[in-house]
Structure 1
């Protein structure tokens, strides 16, 4: 399984994401310049210039006409996907941590950190309105019950927003009123990433507590746990197989003070139902920060602290593999 190596960032990767068709891969990093690549050959299509610091998150809408980024420079930006022009800049009072388009593409949401006495917030905007228009919804996260959000997703039919927090809490927020619908705390440490399965009935979370967990989207009921021996930074569910890929690793500053095994930076594959690991892929020289399956399930990509994005096309033996069930 020889990968395509995408080398276009000068600092560590923060998030990668495919568009719906899977012909484009969008990457964000700490070097302030999000990139877009052709997945078929790894050619860089362009760069979105405008941020002045780390870009924490990136998303693309359903028809690949707009790109949304969240930056540490206290802005979230809306871009024209084809030309790379900045369409709208949403100024925030603290760093933007996550950003996502709604399913219809007319709404977007981003979350902000607690910083300089500003409480963490969730903001929803209509992309058809100017940047200085009043947000369609904006509310503070109740810090007495939970800490700041590290990642977020739109729920099915855009009825609620799901947030993952740095104390391990998952929460549903009503998109009309901003009220907390319900929350659970299955993780014991920071949640770094959340991703849906193909039909959005389940979501998988990646946590610093060395586990990835599968939840029912509507009820947040805990379904499965995938355990590792290192912090998990990202996890994704295959759109075509009962497989989960998990990536992470100990941060470089902590590697020398822990077990030598913990410093290895493999992408690890688990069976979705059985929760057993069946494969690993090596290659990165730093912790894996983001993972994504291609929409057709025939490949996956990983972005890491080393600044490289690796696009792996699966060999035939991956598709032939079938776990042995004990009766």
Structure 2
């Protein structure tokens, strides 16, 4: 059975720095993208068709993520704001001013009523979206800019990575303190929490690591064939994908670390990569300004649950 040709999604005019799929919903699933062109976009997750652009940011957009029901989109920008958008109509719902570049945003998993942000201000903030005028919870100041933030463990913990600084910080929202630091040998450029909130996958240069969310213990580590800026894990198929400076998209076997496929097509480094929630495709975003949706071997896709 022949492989499907990848879908190439045009529209952005500058490098793409983050893509995120939504959960699978009754209406299907969706793909949000952040770009240095300042125009975050929403697409149909399966075919990449453009739905709309969220207009309003006045600087590069570093982060773009959908909430659990895919009704709202959150973005973080170099214009010192994080914003919440109506994912259906495109209008801006809320805007949160910061004192420096906002590099990362994420919704709480349960209820989608909290927003966590981080960036070059070196502060992790947690907003209650049901009380938008209330001051956010500010967690202890970090020693470096915040590169990524994610809620885990019933939204009681926030894990974050730093800009050009090794380590993963774990903040407990109940004590409002840094509760744990996971050591790394280099800076962590990507943290993915799986759709079922069971797995954490990190890209750390030469290595991709996998952690159990419940214990935050490492369960596996693989040295990849080329340094990875972003990685994503598919537990259903026991495979993971990674991309980085070499401009190629690599598919690996989770158990052995063997490279299974090397997909060529991007004309710039791959900054971000994610599996679709159906696990029959994965998407990559590149310095070349395009998103590519790749399809693994069709016979494998048919066997996936």
Q: Which whole-Å CA distance do the structure 1 matches of 2:14 and 2:6 have between them?
A: 20
Is 1:198–1:239's contact at 8 Å kept on the other side of the alignment? no
Name the Cα RMSD after superposition: 1.8
Give the equivalent residue in structure 1 for 2:148: 151
**Correspondent of 2:196 among 189, 196, 199:** 199
Cα displacement (A) at 1:227: 1.6
How many corresponding residue pairs? 295
Give the equivalent residue in structure 2 for 1:5: 8
More strand by share: 2
Q: Which whole-Å CA distance do the structure 2 matches of 1:41 and 1:150 have between them?
A: 29
Is 1:196–1:237's contact at 8 Å kept on the other side of the alignment? no
Give the equivalent residue in structure 2 for 1:134: 135
Report the secondary structure of 1:210's partner residue.
strand
Give the equivalent residue in structure 2 for 1:325: none
Cα displacement (A) at 1:83: 1.2
Matched, 1:248 2:244: yes
Where in structure 2 are the equivalents of 1:155-234 lying within 5 Å? 155-165=152-162, 166-186=164-184, 188-207=185-204, 209-234=205-230
Q: TM-score, normalising length from structure 1?
A: 0.85
Q: Which whole-Å CA distance do the structure 2 matches of 1:51 and 1:175 have between them?
A: 29
Cα displacement (A) at 1:309: 0.3
Q: Deviations over 1:199-249 (max 9, x none)?
A: 322211112x32211122233322222223543111001152100101111
Give the equivalent residue in structure 2 for 1:290: 272
Q: Which whole-Å CA distance do the structure 2 matches of 1:113 and 1:142 have between them?
A: 10
Is 1:239–1:296's contact at 8 Å kept on the other side of the alignment? no
Is 1:233–1:290's contact at 8 Å kept on the other side of the alignment? yes
Q: Which whole-Å CA distance do the structure 2 matches of 1:141 and 1:236 have between them?
A: 29
Give the equivalent residue in structure 2 for 1:68: 74
Cα displacement (A) at 1:319: 4.3
Q: Deviations over 1:61-119 (max 9, x none)?
A: 111111100111100001011111111110000111110000120111001214xxxxx
Give the equivalent residue in structure 1 for 2:296: 314
Matched, 1:16 2:6: no
For structure 2, the residue ranges without an aligned partner over 5 or more in a row are: none
